[in-house]
Structure 1
Amino acid sequence: MSEGKKMTSSRRHHVKSLILSIAAAWLEQEATENIAAKEAYMAEKCAIPDLSGDQASLMEICKKLHQALDKVDEERYDAGGKVEKADKEIDDLKLKVVELAGVKKPALKKVRMSADSMLQALLGGKHKVTMDLRANLKQVKKEVKEEAGEAVGDWRKNIEDKADRKKMFETS
């Protein structure tokens, strides 16, 4: 046995199994108590109506049941309103706590990711298509200009070049 351990492993397993068996017994006892409490509540709140009698007495029983249903429905509605109000107050208090603490934005790190890896991270295993963003770009042909000395001397040639450029952008 080492210095740090105070129990052997067999002793530890034995104690653990005892604790688990006690906890299982407590859970079982709690479940039986819950069932008994439910049965007592149902016996108190929902008495079995006497259905023997003529039509008038049955109609009276139905009216009482409808009144009881209305009462329970009103209580449920009121409880729902209280819960909604409490939830709104909780949200407001959470916002106040955040405001008091001050919003601290973490320093974001710049990460280089390709479009494929970004889609893979967002969509998970669903992403099968690879995106080649450069494939959809328009091809542009570069014109080789004549020597700069000639264009400077002849101003008409320079204007014709500019007119060609203008036509090129207008047709696009």
Structure 2
Amino acid sequence: MELIMSYQPIILIVLIILILILFLIIIIQFSAINKLEKRYRKFMRGVDNKNIEEIIISYLDRVDSAVQQSNNIKISVEEINSRLNNCVQKYSIMRYRAFEDVGSDLSYSIALLDNKNDGIILTGIYGRTDSTTYAKPIDKGLSRYELSEEENYVLKDAINKNI
């Protein structure tokens, strides 16, 4: 006990210094917390004095809307693609002279096919006295009717075209 009593003024001074240091640390911490709280409130206030939560909710609503529009566009594209399969996608044309006594290549055969090789062959035969046009249906690349050499050529040429 005597030892403590002899060092009592020194211990008291050290404790007072420690208390002052701790008080100084507390003041510094309050100051830092105050600055952080001001920055937090400014951040949460957001742009144009809007709350950051309102801004985030607004952006999330816009994202949901964009996703919905994207899904609608995807459905539309799929519908268009299915319709395109039934459109004319392959064709071939050949002009030729059907008769020796007729000048120039005035006769023709045209094959118009879709993606499944369904379609028609149009043939126009030009002669000196008359002109005749024929249409022959094509189903999966085949005709129920007999095809001429020129019609076979345009059919095979159209089928072999890549889309």
TM-score (norm 1): 0.27
Larger radius of gyration: 2
TM-score (norm 2): 0.28
More strand by share: 2
More helix by share: 1
